[in-house]
Structure 1
Amino acid sequence: MPASAPSSFRLEPHASPMAHDDRARQIADPGFGRVFTDHMAVIDYSTEQGWHDPRITARAPLTLDPACAVLHYAQEIFEGLKAYRLDDGNVSLFRPEANAARFRSSARRLAMPELPDELFLGSLEALVRADADWIPAIDGGSLYLRPFLIASEAFLGVKPASEYLYMVLASAAGSYWKGGVRAISLWVSHDYTRAAPGGTGAAKCGGNYATSLIAQAEATRRGCDQVVFLDATERRWVEELGGMNIFFVFDDGTLRTPPLTGTILPGITRDSILTLARDEGLRVEESPYSLDDWRADAASGRLVESFACGTAAVVTPIAEVKGPDYGFTIGSGGMGQTTARFLDRLGAIQRGRAPDPHDWRHAVA
């Protein structure tokens, strides 16, 4: 079908939506990723019909054939972004066009059909309009949106599927970290890597996260909050965390982050920080940074801050880094000035409390 406007989404209202008082209790302290709204967006795809039947319907379990291709060959991609209630009462998405572009890029890498941007954006707008009352009215509250695409054809054979199911879930969200933003500790994985050249590192697919879980479990056993990966070729260069990009701040004001060479996810929060830093006139470097230099610069004081960033946690300071036979603290071991500034600046733009010079806010009518 041709690209569809948001108004083309058929609304099938939930027959028994959650009662107001029950919803209020759920979103008073929702945490992250566990409190889901009444509805979901759905679009079907087949090679014969293309994208068809866009709709907003009651959130419900799926019925899938045991031979469904996603269960055997892992053709699956997803995105993550947030809707915010602004101070004026309106609702806004943050940079959804960038998510739409990355979703298409991930689809190409996984040999899946590319969803037109109009349908991607329309699905988000229609779902947020249906479930806007689920946005928590708490500090840091938002509506987290999870668009995803799975191969739904029932067959056993190694080839791209001919049928797919696109959906969007919405989840009331508070702070990603229990207790609010805090400085975290990292475990450097020397045994496992996240992605290799030519692989799927730049795509947002579930397999990348599945392979990171054993390394994250090791980090937890070592008393750390998150794992950080080195490159797969030399096991020398810092790449990214299990689900976040990483930045380094030096005593001369330089901001550095590893370059996008195909093994690192091109984070939208990462790109936003780079843009804001250049707006400030900071020296910005997208260049490799070795573990040896990370350790030496932290010890000498040349490195004054490190932070991680992503949609869910936004900006998170890094306090300390540990490995099998070493450990080091970064700066004061707390929230640095540059980290705090980017956290505040991004939050202010996302929530409509500051000018939006790059038109990142996307109003939901």
Structure 2
Amino acid sequence: MQIGIVGLPNVGKSTLFNALTRANAQVADYPFTTVDKNVGIAEVPDERLKRLGELMKPEKLTGARIQFVDIAGLVKGSSKGEGLGNTFLAHIREVDCILHVLRCFRKGGVAHVDGSVDPLRDAEVVSTELALADMESLDVRIEKAKKGAEKGDREAESSLQSMLEARQILDSGGSLAAIDGPPTGLLSAKPVLYVMNMDEGDISSHNFSELESVKQYAKERMARACAVCAKGELELAEFERQERKVMRRELGLEGYGLAQLVLESFLLLNLITFYTIKGPETRAWHLPVNSRVTEAAGKVHSDLEKGFIKAEVVSFSDLEKSGAMQEVKNRGLMRTEGKDYIVQDGDVILVRFHV
């Protein structure tokens, strides 16, 4: 799963990316610093995995991971190729969802590309550019579908109606999130998480007036929103985990950090977590909601999916209450499931297979 970090220039995209992945993408206070997309991996914070580590005492503990992509800054006219618009649009088509960084910080001496800080205005700029690009794409696809429909192509006729509905919604400034199954390949149909990049002082003093307005904006578009101080998070990333925890509490940043952002991203992608505990590694994996156990097996290794026989499954809560796998079996809490079993969030799975 890929999440694309987007936004206007100088809103803190690369700073946030670096904090998330502890990478070192070029950062500067002028537009178009990020010309090529930067790709990094972040682990999903998981208290259940930590608890499994305490119970199973594995040699290695590995969290579920999400891939983040830092995409070149967008400006007005990007849908027509202005600035780095063509690069932006090409990269954003590849991601599964959008993490839209909105500038709320006023300190730091970094000029805003439009001269003033206004997160809702900035959100509209990006949304409009995505909608314009989609409308241009739809116009071409609609004409092609019309020709097919005139020749009696039922599939073309069905897709034509869907595209006409999407085109009308975009033209009126509406959200494609309201459509059940919008046409494929549309940028503005991707799930969105709005991230308010705030001054550290505003978070610690709970100055959230702008956050509430963005949350309402997001709610109207069936999106999500959260707050973070990217600069502060990047500085905290230099410290050890326990030190970060203490400093975050002292700075008043608890509940507004990267952990919340990654979890919001996870929820946005509509994913669940399952666990494997066999061998030296205990590991968390992510999987789309309503996935079969054979798909979970394939996430671990393709051989497990191909040679799947059955799965032995216990819920995390039952394992935690039991304290050990042997006690799980003694209590009769281990279930045997076939290939059509739908994996539940928190399942601990052992796959039986043949080569």
TM above 0.5, one fold? no
Q: Which protein has the larger Cα radius of gyration, Structure 1 or Structure 2? A: 2
Q: Hey, which of these two has a bigger chunk of strand by percent?
A: 1
Q: Hey, which of these two has a bigger chunk of helix by percent?
A: 2
